[in-house]
A and B are shown apart, each in its own frame.
Chain A
Amino acid sequence: MARFKRRRYSRPSAPVSSARRPFRLPGNPLLLLACLPVLIYLLLPTLIIVPMALTKGQLIQFPPIWISVHSFADYFDDRQWIDSTIISLKVAALAVCIACVAGSAAAIGLHGKQFPGKAVVIGIILTPMVIPFVVLGLGDYLFFVHMPFIGRWVEIGLAHSVLVTPYVFITVQAALSGLNPLLVRSARSLGAGNASVLYHVYWPAIRPGIVAGAIFAFAVSFDEVVIALFLQSPNATTLPVRMFTSIEYELTPKIAAAASLLLCFATLALLAQAFLTHRKLSQRRLPKAVQSLP
């Protein structure tokens, strides 16, 4: 009972989901059958990436002449491609760091607050998700041209940080939705200062949200092409930009090898998401007695 009450408090919008439909166990076979082609369509491209990388030939072909890892060897031997991968990793790391600080701080700042402009503020925070990449890319290009030079990969990383901050904000906000605002008040009434409230109350609650957000942010930054294309220079070409320019030229197994790498990150992001939703975000971190606050 206590558990039920807590969940209703923390997630008022989703009381409907699981508990109400225990009688539909097997699923509708007709619907599932109709979905089968759609699912194949959805999954087919993802499934053929790795087999394409494992071909023996120099060009991508079907049926592939299996099995050789020469494309991966090509990829790891090519200085340019490895450099690009390292640049991409650096860019993503910078973007993720900035996004984690800015996104989670904003989520904490807005937690438990009710004021008239809140929806607008959240709307503004989420805006980068809907601005077309080309517009941001053009703007960032015009911006950095006027700035003192700070290194091309830093510029791409900074540009990406705006793009990925909303992802961290959303996951941290989701993690905080399980945290009762009364907890903060009670911590304060017991004499906790700002720093201890942040460290002892908020930090444990947002940790899983930050991890999830960082993984998503990393995945987004690691395969973003358009902004990186606008800001690229010969010694700051990210992996996706290099892939993009070589795809226009020719489809080679080396690109498939790089794509497998990107796919690997995507799968990690998915697993992390599954894992974190399974743990119901922050809630497990709090002691039982605290969880059942009204």
Chain B
Amino acid sequence: MAKLGFLCDRSGDDAGPAAKRTAPDASRPPLAGRRVLRSRLWLLLPIGIVYGALAVVPLVLIVRFSLVGGLTQYREVLSSPLLAHIVENTVVISITTTVIAVLLGYLLAAALWRSGPRMRVLLLILVLLPFWTGVLVKNFAWAALLQDNGAINELLRIIGPSHEALPLLHNRLAVIIGMVHYVLPYAVFPIYTVMLSIDDRLERAAKSLGASAFSVAWLVIMPLTLPGVYAAGLLVFIISTGFFITPVILGGPSDMMVANLVDFYAHQLVDFNRAAALAVLIVMVISVLVFAYQRTPKEGQYGAV
């Protein structure tokens, strides 16, 4: 996840590269064709076609469907008590997930940063293996672990005296366990990159001035890693708000999130206009978040050498 995109006006997708393609030719019309070829910007044509047909057109269609009957769809969606409840769910679950994931991610990033080359490779592999495991596989595994006769309940039965199975599956706790597990690698890497850019000399300077290990960590290192923490937090929050599968598999009926509501409108109520209106609202909120993410500085302010 190097850099996330702008969610700016998607209709600019076709216009942007096309305008760029012709721009350098204006000065010398006779050679225009050859210069376009040489400038290599014609190579953006395939991606323009793919995105234009399969991303811009569907998004435009969503907007068109959402505007059937003016703004009534939006009014209905926004005024339904169901939405308020589900937005509350989404925000609470996402914020909890974000806080836990950033705390654990900070720990992992610090361990990665502080370990030698070999240990670092090992840790990276251990973090990346779950990263490449799909949501579905992970959630299935969690469901199997947390169910009433799953591994965790069986372990508790062996260790402790309690004979009743703890209800671990189909509740909010399970959703958060599953979501933190999915987003944790996304939290590690922004923090880790910022840590790598911290100047070693700062730490040595602080130590030479008599700072204890704790004050070095708290007063020198921690403030420098804050940009990474903000970036990781926003990124994790953006990802969390879009979760669809985890609430269905690990959550109960009351843990529905906004993505599930779109699906509910589309598939249960077969009301595509309302689903489209909700989708537009989601994209608007996500755009704001992505814009904020773009604004977060990517490297420590004083850390970059």
Contacts and interface: CB of A to CB of B under 8 A. Distances in A.
Given A140-B58, A270-B125, A101 B140 contact: no
B5 A130 contact: yes
Contacts of B38: 194
Nearest to A155: B54
A134 B244 contact: yes
Contact of A142 (B7, B50, B65, B110): B65
Given A102-B50, A122-B5, A240-B134, A139 B107 contact: no
Nearest to A39: B126
B62 interface: yes
A255 B73 CA distance: 39
A273 B128 contact: yes
A223 B135 contact: yes
Nearest to B1: A129
Given A41-B181, A62-B150, A244-B136, A136 B58 contact: yes
Interface stretch (B75-83, B91-99, B115-123, B219-227): B115-123
Nearest to A48: B141
A45 B115 contact: no
A120 B16 contact: yes
Contacts of A62: 149-151, 154-155
A274 B124 CA distance: 10
A35 B245 contact: no
Which secondary structure dominates chain A's binding surface?
helix
Contact of B62 (A17, A130, A133, A139): A139
Contacts of B65: 142
Contacts of B282: 132, 134-135
B46 interface: yes
A38 B107 contact: yes
B32 interface: no
B259 interface: yes
Interface residues of B, number: 100
A49 interface: yes
Interface of B: 1-8, 10, 12-13, 16-17, 20, 23, 37-38, 40-47, 49-51, 54-55, 57-59, 61-62, 65, 104, 107-108, 110-111, 114-117, 119-120, 123, 125-130, 132-145, 147, 149-151, 154-155, 181, 184, 196-197, 200, 238, 241-242, 244-245, 248-249, 259, 262-263, 266, 272, 275-276, 279, 282-283, 286, 290, 294, 305
Given A109-B43, A124-B16, A139-B62, 6 more contacts: A27-B111, A45-B133, A121-B20, A142-B62, A143-B57, A165-B47
Contact of A49 (B12, B57, B141): B141
Contacts of B111: 27-28, 31-32, 34-35
B248 A106 contact: no
A42 B105 CA distance: 11
Contacts of A130: 4-5, 7, 238, 286, 290
Contacts of A256: 140, 144
B128 A109 contact: no
Q: Which of B133, B262, B282 has the most CB of A within 10 A?
A: B133
B62 A26 contact: no
B16 A138 contact: no
